[in-house]
Amino acid sequence: MLVPGAGIEPALPCGKRILSPLRLPVSPPGHGDKSNVTRTPLAIRDILPALHAPAVQTADLPRKLRLRDAVGIVSGTIIGSGIFLVPNLVARNLSSPPAAIALWIFAGILSLFGALAYAELGAMIPATGGPYVYLREAYGPMVAFLCGWTFFTVALSASVAWLGIAFSNYLGYLIPLSPWEAKAVALALIVIVAAFNYRRVTAGAAFQNACAVLKISGLAVLIAGAFFLAHRAAPAAPYSVPLTFSRFNIAFMACLLSYDGWGALSFVAGEVREPHRNLTRAAAIGLAIVMSVYVLANLAYMRVLPLAEIAATDRVGALAAERIIGSAGGVLVTITVLFSIAGSMNGWVMTAPRIYFAQARDGLFFRRMGEVHPRFGTPAFSIAIFCAWSAVLVLSGTYESLASYAMFASWISYGLTAAGVIILRRREPGRARPYRMPGYPITLILFIAVAATFVIGTCIATPGPALAGGGLIATGIPVYYLWSRTRKS
């Protein structure tokens, strides 16, 4: 990070930074002497730095993720239940099939612009921590801390909790579950996913790749059946809804949110092999796969269902599958959705704890969150705490309200991080950039404009959740100053 009056502070792998010796916890004279054991002030001065101050780290997270693992993180985290549900929302607001398909493509291209902005930053700063590290370099430690604070307390933890409940809800279509059984299933999924990622990053990557293959295979069966087995939908009565900016915005934002997850790869940039090449390639390949699947799935839906029927049913994927292969179609879609949700959860559990790992290495989170497990080579404690907090949200039932604030907070982070590309290019023009996003600055400005539109539109359309989301972000300001004072002490 460029500090006024100083040179550029080197960014070390995994979000580490060179620490001044003055910041290191120093034992006071006489420490360890029996005469000092009972002196309470001395004990407090010893304990606080040990808990909060950054320590000299000797172990880094190893670079074990290959290109295919990185592609699996991108595609597997993005594809969730949205492709089975969002086409209904799009059809209710757009009555033209070509316009609906074009909107899915446009949303995918804009998401690609965001992913390529992250890829430029990741190739330049190939450290674990993703947006936390990029925001720290562009804006300073407080903005970076607020990003990590928001992701931990609200955005990503609530998303994992919501995915767990969504998994149990879909499983309920196959096996009836009571409310407490549904919560138990959600907790069990969180524990299973956490166990994979706790032991080895390669185990988490293998689970992610398996879920990605299974969910895409299920969608491929549905798409192929629509084009080669099913009859085209019979002509229906004309369907039309008035085209207004409000309707277009609702449909567009729904498509855009279906692509959410493209930034997850940046969180593990410090563990990807050849990051200067593979981050960009994985982002492009992963989003190309997702865009292709989304467009083909929508074309398949429209081939077997009239647009008016798509607009009238909440479970578009299940209805289309039943038209193609009968009652077994609903089971196929349910199983595919289960793998989709499990893959999305695994993607966040694999990547999100790396943000808190990087924070801890900067002395802005609990020190143990920045430790590497000596045997498994993972940020094991960070994973455990993140999943434990997500489980608390499942049990408390607050995940639903928090999830409504999550996207608002996330898109503030997306916009600020993308703008960091402009800031760092101007501030440090001579810094090595193995990759530069194409179409700069037009492509970048388009993405930043979309992020700003999303945030402003949320404030206008739903001021309550927007205000609550802003308030939750603001709660991190006093926490940051408290943590900074503790670290300096």
In this prediction, residue 483 carries a pLDDT of 85
Number of domains making up the chain:
1
SS3 11: strand
pLDDT in tens, 275-302: 989 999 999 999 999 999 999 999 999 9
Give the CATH number, domain containing residue 294.
1.20.1740.10
Percent of the chain with pLDDT over 90: 64
In a domain, 53, yes or no: no
Residue range 94-115: mean pLDDT, rounded: 94
Q: Is residue 33 part of a domain?
A: no
How confident is residue 81, by pLDDT bands cut at 50, 70 and 90?
confident
144 domain residue, yes or no: yes
**Whether residue 21 has pLDDT greater than 80:** no
Helices and strands in the chain, H and E counts: 21, 0
Q: Is 406 left (phi over 0), alpha (psi -120 to 50) or beta?
A: alpha
Within-domain flag for 237: yes
Cβ atoms of 65 and 273 within 8 Å: the answer is yes
- pLDDT tens per residue across span 408-433: 888 999 999 999 999 999 999 999 99
Task: Report the alpha-carbon distance of residue 473 to residue 465 in Å, rounded.
Answer: 12
Residue 18, pLDDT score: 33
Let me know if residue 34 belongs to a domain. no
Burial 258-284 (b: 16+ CB within 10 A, else e): bbbbbbbbbbbbbbbeebbebbbebbb
Instruction: Choose the weakest-confidence range: 119-133, 337-351, 395-409.
Output: 395-409
Q: For 33-43, what is the mean pLDDT?
A: 39
Mean pLDDT of 6-27: 36
Residue range of the domain that includes 356: 61-488
Average confidence score pLDDT of the chain = 85
**7: in domain:** no
In a domain, 10, yes or no: no
Lowest mean pLDDT among 142-146, 266-270, 394-398, 416-420: 394-398
SS (H, E, C) 100-149: HHHHHHHHHHHHHHHHHHHHHHHHHCCCCCCHHHHHHHHHCHHHHHHHHH
Q: Which contacts of 446-452 are long-range, i.e. CB under 8 A and separated by 24 or more positions?
A: 446/110, 446/113, 447/110, 447/113, 447/114, 447/117, 447/414, 447/418, 448/415, 448/418, 448/419, 450/110, 450/256, 451/114, 451/411, 451/412, 451/414, 451/415, 451/418, 452/415
SS3 (DSSP) at 302: helix
Tens digits of per-residue pLDDT, 446-465?
Answer: 999 999 998 998 888 888 87
Q: What is the mean pLDDT of residues 21-50?
A: 38
- Residue 106's alpha-carbon distances to 57, 179, 231, 461, in angstroms, are 44, 39, 29, 23
Pairwise CA distance, residues 216 & 297, whole Å: 11
Instruction: Decide if 164 is inside a domain.
Output: yes
